[in-house]
Amino acid sequence: MKTAQSFETQDEKRAYVRDLMDRAEILLSPMAGVSDRAFRGVCRELGADVTYCEFVSANGVLHGNPATFDLMEVGEEESPIGIQLFGSEPEVLAEAARTTEKIGPDIIDLNFGCPVKKVVKRNGGSALLCNTPLMEDIVRAVVNAVSVPVTAKIRLGWSKGTVNYLETTKMLEEAGACAITIHGRTRDEAFRGIANWDPIAEAKDNVSVPIIGNGDVWNYEDFAEIKERTQCDAVMVARGSIGNPWIFDEIKSNLQGGEWTPPTLEELFRKVVDHMHREVALKTER
């Protein structure tokens, strides 16, 4: 089992995350059905600085659901790594976070951004953007429950008429979140249209904790633009990595001043086979 660092004070937690985000450039988002251990390994080898497990239900953790714990499987080689929880009850999330901490994540992230109906109808994910007092209670409960840093992921608001990212980011900072990831869409927009990065820049000016930009980063050009426009501390890639884990290599190569070339057909095939072998090996272990 992986052993993560633990911290005694909130200042120590924030210093750790600040240092991490000063060094990290590109993060792999927690994605259901995608960011399992095999895929995380591929992305890490190609340049992802921080990776996250698939997001999991706090209730599933609390009830000892075997499938939930499979999703939270973390290897000794995976560091830094985060585990993201979703739910709507502060006490449940706090207890789930205590259990999650024993697995060894470097960060516990709270999901306040997922737009998927089956999450929202249980008052989880982006549903909490409509109930920021409850969101605050959740963050405070989890922060007080664990000795690892707690972060949060949000959207701009529930809808264009109820955008509340400035109030939400300020509240999250005051409640103890050590960093905040912002997806540049509302819940109503889901993944339609084009992500709006300008509010991420506003939020960056509104708080002192690191802000991580997210939404529609498909290549190095997008990465460079979101960084320039928002001055965010790091960038989180989600759908842009699906079928294209080389996005991390592309970004890193450009940042280091190298000339990046897309993988050849042979390289694509080798990586697909490598990914398949990882999946088979890890599934067999279970």
* 2 within some domain: no
* 274 within some domain: no
153 is in an annotated binding site: yes
- Domain span at residue 160? 10-259
* 87 within some domain: yes
Q: How far apart are CA 17 and CA 228, in angstroms?
A: 21
- What separation, in Å, do the N-terminal and C-terminal C-alpha atoms of the chain show? 14
236 is in an annotated binding site: no
* 251 within some domain: yes
Could you tell me which of 164, 199, 144 has the C-alpha nearest to residue 9?
144
Exposed, middle or buried by CB within 10 Å (0-12, 13-18, 19+), for 206?
middle
Answer yes or no: are the C-beta atoms of 216 and 192 closer than 8 Å.
no
Could you tell me which of 21, 9, 13, 85 has the C-alpha nearest to residue 227?
21
* 272 within some domain: no
Exposed, middle or buried by CB within 10 Å (0-12, 13-18, 19+), for 243?
exposed
pLDDT score for 1: 58
Give me the CATH number covering residue 110: 3.20.20.70
203 is in an annotated binding site: no
* 94 within some domain: yes
Q: Is 114 a catalytic residue?
A: yes
* 265 within some domain: no
Q: How far apart are CA 8 and CA 150, in angstroms?
A: 13
* 110 within some domain: yes
Model pTM score = 0.94
Catalytic residue among 53, 114, 178, 232: 114
pLDDT score for 285: 54
Q: pLDDT of the chain along its 286 residues, tens only? A: 566 678 999 999 999 999 999 999 999 999 999 999 999 999 999 999 999 999 999 999 999 999 999 999 999 889 999 999 999 999 999 999 999 999 999 999 999 999 999 999 999 999 999 999 999 999 999 999 999 999 999 999 999 999 999 999 999 999 999 999 999 999 999 999 999 999 999 999 999 999 999 999 999 999 999 999 999 999 999 999 999 999 999 999 999 988 888 888 888 888 888 888 888 888 755 5
